[in-house]
Homo-oligomer: A and B are copies of this chain.
Amino acid sequence: MSDYAAPIADMRFVLNEIVGLGEIAGLPGYEETTPDLVDAVLEEAGKLAAEQLAPLNHSGDREGAVYENGVVRAPGGFKEAYRHYVEGGWNAVPFEPDYGGQGLPWALTSALQEMWNASNMSFALNPLLTQGAVELLQSHGSDGQKAAYLPKLISGEWTGTMNLTESQAGSDVGALKTRAVAEGDHYLISGQKIFITWGEHDLAENIVHMVLARTPEAPAGTRGISLFIVPKFLLKEDGTPGQKNDLRCVSIEHKLGIHGSPTCVMAYGDGGVCVGYLVGEENRGMEYMFTMMNNARLAVGVQGLAIADRAYQHARAYARDRVQSKDIAGSAGPVPIIRHPDVRRSLMTMRTLNEAMRMLAYTAAGVLDRGKRHPEEAARQRNQAMVDLLTPVSKAWCTDLGVEIASLGVQIHGGMGFIEETGAAQHYRDARIAPIYEGTNGIQALDLLGRKLLRDKGAAARALIEQMRGSLNALQAAPGEDTRAIRAALERSFDTLSSATGWIVEAGGRDLRLAAAGASPYLRLFGTVAGGWLMGRAAVAAAGQLGQANGDGVFLAAKIKTARFYADNVLPQAQALATMVTEGGTSTLAIDEDQF
C-alpha cells in the first residue's frame, strides 16, 4: 500500500487551464504532446511513483546510503526501482530526440519531477543531476562528446553529477582551486570537491562527472573557470566503459535528511592521472553552467512543492484517521481532528500554498518551453526574460514553503509527528536542504535583485505585473462573491508589489546594501503575489467550468474556495513584506558587526 498518490486531477487542471499545455503542444518540436499522450504519461508516472518509489522513501531514510572503502551502496530497493525508471523511458522525457530523448515539454516534465520528488526525494536527486549533465552537453558539448555520452545519459543507463563546490568555494564558486592541466587531447584534473550529490553509487554502470576547474594560466574568479567531462570509467573504443579513471569517493556526509542520497566528497587525480575532457572553450565554464542552472533551479523549486505535497497528504490522512476531542461547537463524542477548525486552517494553508506553488512551478517550466521553442525570436526573448525572472522566485519561494509546510505537517500529527516511525519528521528533515542547494535562497534573492531587476531597471518585473493585472477583468466578470473578493485582494497586492519593485530599482541605484537588505522579503513578496495571481486565474477557470456538463463540480468548487482562502489568509502578508523591503532595510544594517 502506497501512502502517496500523485494529485493528477490538479496537475491536469494546472497544465491545461493555467500553463496552456495545449498551446505549448503546438510549438515546433512538441507535436507529440497530444492530450492522450499527456494523460497516459501522468497516469503511468503516477503508478511508478506510488508503487515503486514511495514505498522506498522511509526505508531509504532509515538505511541511508552506505560508504565502504570508496564504494557507495544505495539503500535497498533503489537499484531495482532505478532499473524500472530507466526501462520505462522516464529519464528521456524532456530531452532532444536526436540522442534518444522523447522531446516532451518541460511543463509536462515538471509534473513528473513533482511525482518523483514527492514519492522519493533522495531517489529523484540522481536523475535531477543527470538532467544537468545532459543539458550542459546538449548545449555545449562537441559532436563527439554528444555521441559518446548523451545517449547513455538520456536513457539513464549512466548518471551525471555536478562538481562545483569546494570547501572554500560554496556560494562563491569563483574561489574554486581544482586544477586542469592540458595533456594531449585531454586534461589532467586534480582537486577535491564536496557536496557531490550521487557522486558515487551502484545504480548505473558509469557516472559522468561534470567538473569545474582552473587551467594554470586562467584569470582569477569566475572568469577563469573551465568545464570538464570526467567519467568514472573511461570509454573504450567501442564506447563502453573501460578503465577506471583516477577519481574516488573519499567519504559521504552524515546529513539531516535525504539519507538515501549519498552526498560525496570526491577526490580527483590523487594518482596524478585523472582524465578530463574540456567542454567548449577554456574559461567559459561558469557561463555554460548557467545554461543548465536555471532549469536545475526550477527543478529544485519543484522539490519544495513536492515535499510539501507529500507532507500534506501524510497530514491529511492522519487528520482524517485520528479521533480526539469533541467538536468545539458540540458533538456526541470525539471527532476526527480534521473537523477541528485549527487543524483545518493548517490543512487549508498547506493545500492552498501547494496549489499555488504547483501553478508557479509549472508555469515557469511552460514559459521555458516557449522561450526555447516559440517560432518568433521576439516571443522567445520575451519568454526567456520571464523565465529568468520566475526562476529565483520559484526556487526560493517554493523551497522556503516546503520547509514551513513540512513543519506544519509534523504539527498536525502532534506527538506522533516527532516519532521517526510516523514519517512526517522525514519530510521536515528532507525539505530543509532545498532552500540551501543549487544556490541558497539568499543567493536567489540577490539574483532576483541584481540580474533580474536592477539590470533591466525592473522592465521584466513590470511586464509581469501588467500581465497579472490583466487577470482582474476576468475575475470581475466571473460569477459569485468569492471571485470578487479575490479580485479586490489581488488588486491591492499588485499595487503593493509594484511599489516595492519601484523602490528596489530606485534604492538599488543609490545604495546597493540597503536594497540587498530587502532582497529576501522582496522575493517572498513576489512569490506570494504571483501565487495569488495564479490562484485567481484558477478560480476564474474553475468558475467557467463549473457550469459545464463534464466538469468535476466538487473539484472546481473546492478550487474556488481554496483560492478564496489564499486571498484571505496568504495575500494579507504582501503589505507586511513590502514594508520590510521599503522600511526595514536601514535598521537591518544599523548595528556594527562587532556588536552582534
Name A's B-contacting residues (CB within 8 A): 165, 170-172, 175, 194-195, 253-257, 316, 320, 324-325, 327-329, 334, 336, 338-348, 351, 403, 407, 410-411, 414-415, 417-421, 425, 428-429, 432-433, 435-437, 440-442, 445-446, 511-514, 516-517, 519-521, 554, 557-558, 561-562, 564-565, 567-569, 572-573, 575-577, 579-580, 583-591, 593, 595-596
List the B side residues contacting A585 at CB < 8 Å: 341
User: Do B558 and A587 touch (CB < 8 A)?
Assistant: no
In the complex, how many angstroms separate the beta carbon of A41 from the nearest chain B beta carbon? 26
Q: Is the CB of B561 within 8 A of A348?
A: no
- Write the nearest CB–CB distance from A507 to chain B, whole angstroms: 12
Contact A345 B520 (CB under 8 A): yes
Chain B proximity of A230: nearest CB distance (Å):
21
Q: Is the CB of A344 within 8 A of B565?
A: no
Q: Which residue of B lies closest to A437 (CB)?
A: B415
Q: How far is A195 from B416 in the complex, measured between Cα atoms in Å?
A: 9
- Report how far A257 CA is from B256 CA in the complex, Å: 11
A320 to B346, CA, bound (A): 37
A568 to B432, CA, bound (A): 28
The 9 A-B residue pairs with the shortest CB-CB distance in the complex, in nearest-first order: A572-B576, A565-B587, A341-B517, A256-B425, A341-B516, A572-B579, A569-B584, A561-B590, A342-B442
Chain B proximity of A193: nearest CB distance (Å): 12
Contact of A418 among B256, B516, B572 (CB under 8 A): B256
Contact A420 B254 (CB under 8 A): yes
Name the B residues within 8 Å of A437 (CB-CB).
415
Complex contact A588–B344 (CB within 8 A): yes
With both chains docked as a complex, state the minimum distance between the C-beta of A247 and any C-beta of chain B, in angstroms: 21
The residue on B at minimum CB distance from A257 is: B418
**Given A343-B442, A414-B440, A575-B572, A253 contacting B419 (CB threshold 8 A):** yes
A576 CA to B254 CA in the complex, in Å?
A: 40
Q: Give A7 Cβ to nearest chain B Cβ, in Å.
A: 12
Contacts of A516 in B (CB 8 A): 328, 340-342
A197 CB to closest chain B CB (Å) equals: 11
A443 and B562 CA atoms in complex are apart in Å by 25
Chain B residues with Cβ below 8 Å from A336 are 593
A585 to B345, CA, bound (A): 8
A587-B513 in contact given A320-B593, A342-B519, A421-B254 (Cβ < 8 Å): no
Shortest beta-carbon distance from A95 to chain B in Å: 28
Q: Which residue of B lies closest to A348 (CB)?
A: B588
B329 near A596 with CB under 8 A, answer no
30 CB contacts below 8 A, A to B, read A170-B414, A171-B414, A253-B419, A254-B420, A328-B516, A329-B512, A329-B513, A341-B513, A341-B516, A341-B588, A342-B519, A344-B517, A345-B520, A347-B596, A410-B432, A417-B436, A418-B436, A429-B429, A561-B591, A562-B591, A564-B590, A565-B584, A568-B580, A569-B588, A572-B577, A572-B583, A572-B584, A573-B576, A575-B576, A576-B576
CB distance from A270 to the nearest CB of B (A): 23
Of all chain B residues, the one with the shortest Cβ separation from A169 is B324
Whole-angstrom CA separation of A325 from B596 in the bound complex: 21
Give the docked Cα–Cα distance between A421 and B595 (Å). Answer: 28
B255, B351, B407: the one within 8 Å of A419 (CB): B255
Q: A342-B517, A517-B345, A588-B348 are in contact. Are A171 and B325 (CB under 8 A)?
A: yes
Query: A432's contact among B194, B407, B590, by CB below 8 Å, is which?
Result: B407
Closest chain-B Cβ to A588's Cβ sits at a distance in Å of 5
**CA A510 – CA B334 in complex, angstroms?**
22
CB-CB under 8 A from A576, the residues of chain B are 572-573, 575-576
Indicate which residue in B165, B428, B587 contacts A415 across the interface (CB closer than 8 Å). Answer: B165
Residues of B within 8 A of A583 (CB): 568, 572
Given A170-B324, A341-B588, A565-B590, check contact A414 B429 (CB 8 Å). Answer: no
Which residues on the B side are within 8 Å of A517 (C-beta)?
341-342, 344-345
Query: Please, how many angstroms separate the alpha-carbon atoms of A421 and B259 in the complex?
Result: 15
Instruction: Using CB atoms, name the residue of chain B closest to A577.
Output: B572
How far is the CB of A238 from the nearest CB of chain B, in Å? 39
Kindly state the separation between the CA atoms of A446 and B328 in the bound complex, as whole angstroms: 9
Residues of B near A194 (CB, < 8 A) are: 415
Q: Are B334 and A591 interface neighbours, CB within 8 A? A: no
Residues of B within 8 A of A589 (CB): 341, 344
Q: Of residues A165, A329, A414, which shows the largest number of chain B Cβ atoms within 10 Å of its Cβ? A: A414
Residues of B within 8 A of A519 (CB): 341-342
How distant is the Cα of A417 from the Cα of B43 in the complex, in angstroms? Answer: 38
Residue of A347, A407, A585 most packed against chain B (CB within 10 A): A407
Are B325 and A172 interface neighbours, CB within 8 A?
A: yes
User: Which residues of the other chain, B, contact A595 by a CB distance below 8 angstroms?
Assistant: 554, 557-558
